[in-house]
Chains A and B, each alone.
Chain A
Amino acid sequence: MELGPYILLASLEGAVTAAVLALTAVGLSLVFGVMRVVNIAHGEFFMLGAVIAWYVAQSFGGHPALGFALALVVAPLFVGVIAVVADMTILKRIEYDPERTIVATIGLLYMIQQLTLMTYGPEARPVEAPFNQRIALPWFEFGDNGLEFYYPWGLSTTSYKLAVIGAAAAVLAGVWVLMTRSRAGLLMRATQADREMALAFGIPVERVYALVFGMGAGLAAFAAVLIVPIQQAHYLMGADPLLLSFIVVIIGGLGSLPGTVLAAVLIGLSDGIISVFFSPTLAKILATLLVGLVLVFRPQGLFGTRSA
């Protein structure tokens, strides 16, 4: 294959990464924005989503599409409930102190990981995609006969991957509408702007916090269900999404939703394209260093206006 089709293929793969990453990172960003706490267990909520999707798909006979559709609803709800319980039993009791929350969510991370290992086991298990047609993509060339279209070998995507991008975009639009147009979103934004003042105006801040924490975890779980037919469910799969979401949230500006989505697309696409040319380890080294340096020299993020 020539370079052109290669890059097209890489950016298509990158777009799938970006879509899933955007969902996960928006969940993390929402929690950080409204509650001002960093949730280290976010990657484990992602992993739980994938594992629950496998259980649902496994226990539900019939057409794979039905089991998958059910998983899309059940997994985020289930994970959301776990997160709400964690919020009410742990985070509320330590009064959302930023540093103690980090320690407590590290503890939560270990617990979830180990419990998954003990029940689900160390195997990576696939979930069948609901539909999976291969779509060959054309490429053009200026040959002797002028502009020609042809189908290079290996340049293809699947209908499922395109659906992932579509579904992610739809959910993100939904989150946007929820935050800007609904009453619940108004309460969340009010709490984000000034917790004390919101409390004084009778907003049930603790319930808003529980809801936001659950929603953030649910978004991560939803992203995981989307990716699990492509990636397989494994009990250690939460580490990479956590790191990448961190990178995205920090580059996009802490707590800014449009910035987060923009950064996810940027990171997802460049990750796809960079890993064509460099080794993945080197790409990760550069990315972690970039995040560290951005936080040191531009704490408000590349697109943000407010500092951490």
Chain B
Amino acid sequence: MSETGRIIGLHLGLLALLFALQFVLPAYHHGNLARIMVLASYAIGYNILFGYTGLLSLGHALFFAAGMYGLSLTIQHAGFTAAPALLTGLIVGAAVSAALALLALRTAGVAFMIVTLMFAQAGYLTILYFAEYTRGDEGFVIQAAQRVLWGFDLSQPTNRYFAAFILFATCLLVSLTLVRTPFGRTLIAIRENEERVRMLGYNTFAHKLAAMIISGTISASAGAAYGLLFGYAGASFASVQYSIFPLLWVLLGGAGTVLGPFVGTLFMFYLIDLSSGITTAYMLIAGVTLVVLTLFAPQGLVGELRRRVWRWLP
């Protein structure tokens, strides 16, 4: 089989497996997997900027929250139905990521991390400040009646799973296509050596700007979908923790691999889920995992797999 054939086969195979799983999984894991697919879409968005372009952002919660609040606030206060609210979430996410990109891309390295962190923190505090509309930390519930998209009631488990699946499949295929186009290849080149790419005549700023907007918009779509599927919006989704989670998932799964975000999210979710039966200290597990990863497997699970077995993995 050719390399392209193998790549397409592997990814479509995963999607087919996820599609088939909904008929056999027990209710508890069925719900979990829907949540994992939405969060993995968030991680896929993060991976485009971090894994492929080499820009470590500590402020992606801002984009996730932009999508979530773009959707939920318009439903709650402007009386939008689900479809236009979802679109609003995406547009807000794209606008916020473009604005932050124009500012933050003037810096690099550690300064880039701190700038994204600071603006995300300002966004989080802004949500708290307008508690009259957002209800701050406590958040608000989106009623089941308002979560009907094109006639499908997304508070039903089957519809919810299917919606999460469509979101995840779209994000995965977009990400797979993107990294195989010349544009995606240029991003990887920027990650490896930005100076050289600039010397070869590419406009690296425009490429990074586009990567950040795509990454932010995918993250925002995950945020909007999370609000729509699980019916809740709260300020904690904009906190620093939610900027660090996708970093953790991507690092765990493998930065700069298409499947890494999903594998990392799945692994982390069940690690916490299983260990919370034994201890409540899931943050300790997250902390230890982060440190161990930076020490021993900077490539992540899928990254190690690519290094050792399947060298053709995208």
- Give residues in A with beta carbon < 8 Å to B: 38, 90, 93-94, 98-100, 102-104, 106-115, 117-118, 243, 246, 250, 279, 281-282, 284-285, 288-289, 291-293, 295-297, 299, 308
Contact = CB atoms under 8 A, between A and B. Distances in A.
A236 to B, nearest CB: 12
Interface of B: 56, 58, 103-104, 106-107, 109-111, 113-115, 118-119, 121-122, 125-126, 128-129, 244, 247, 251, 281, 283-284, 286-291, 293-295, 298
Contact of B291 (A104, A113, A243): A104
Given A246-B114, A281-B125, A292-B103, A103 B294 contact: yes
B281 A114 contact: yes
B110 A291 contact: no
Contact of B118 (A90, A100, A107, A292): A292
A308 B111 CA distance: 7
B209 to A, nearest CB: 15
Contacts of B286: 107, 110
Contact of B290 (A110, A112, A115): A110
B114 A295 contact: yes
A62 to B, nearest CB: 35
Given A94-B295, A100-B298, A107-B290, A292 B283 contact: no
A243 B124 CA distance: 14
A246 B122 CA distance: 14
Contact of A103 (B109, B121, B128, B247): B247
A107 to B, nearest CB: 3
A279 to B, nearest CB: 7
What does DSSP make chain A's interface, helix, strand, loop or mixed? helix
Given A281-B125, A296-B104, A299-B107, A106 B244 contact: yes
B162 to A, nearest CB: 35
Contacts of B106: 296-297
Given A100-B298, A118-B281, A246-B114, A288 B109 contact: no
11 contacts: A93-B295, A104-B295, A110-B286, A246-B114, A285-B125, A288-B118, A296-B106, A296-B115, A299-B111, A308-B109, A308-B111
B89 to A, nearest CB: 23
B284 A292 contact: no
What does DSSP make chain B's interface, helix, strand, loop or mixed? helix
A107 B114 contact: no
Given A284-B125, A295-B111, A107 B291 contact: yes
Given A284-B125, A296-B104, A308-B111, A99 B56 contact: yes
Contact of A111 (B103, B115, B247, B287): B287
Contacts, number: 111
B121 A98 contact: no
A114 B283 contact: yes
A308 B126 CA distance: 28
Given A99-B109, A114-B281, A281-B125, 20 more contacts: A94-B294, A100-B298, A102-B110, A104-B290, A107-B289, A107-B294, A108-B287, A111-B287, A112-B287, A113-B287, A114-B284, A246-B114, A288-B118, A288-B122, A292-B103, A295-B114, A296-B107, A299-B111, A308-B107, A308-B111
Nearest to A285: B125
Nearest to B284: A114
Contacts of A299: 107, 111
A91 to B, nearest CB: 10
B119 A103 contact: no
B291 to A, nearest CB: 4
A295 B290 contact: no
B108 to A, nearest CB: 9
Nearest to A279: B129
A282 B131 CA distance: 12
Nearest to A102: B113
Given A102-B113, A292-B122, A299-B107, A109 B295 contact: no
Contacts of A250: 114
Contacts of B115: 292, 295-296
A297 B106 CA distance: 8
B246 to A, nearest CB: 12
B287 A110 contact: yes
Contacts of B113: 38, 99, 102
Q: Which 7 pairs from chain A and chain B are nearest by CB?
A: A110-B287, A107-B290, A111-B287, A292-B118, A114-B284, A107-B291, A288-B122
A225 B228 CA distance: 46
Contacts of A38: 110, 113-114
Contacts of A93: 295
Contacts of B111: 295, 299, 308
Contacts of B288: 107, 111
Given A103-B247, A115-B284, A292-B103, A108 B110 contact: no
A185 to B, nearest CB: 25
A111 B110 contact: no
A89 B287 CA distance: 15
B289 A285 contact: no
B118 A106 contact: no
B295 A111 contact: no
A296 B122 contact: no
A116 B104 CA distance: 35
B303 to A, nearest CB: 14
A110 B118 CA distance: 19
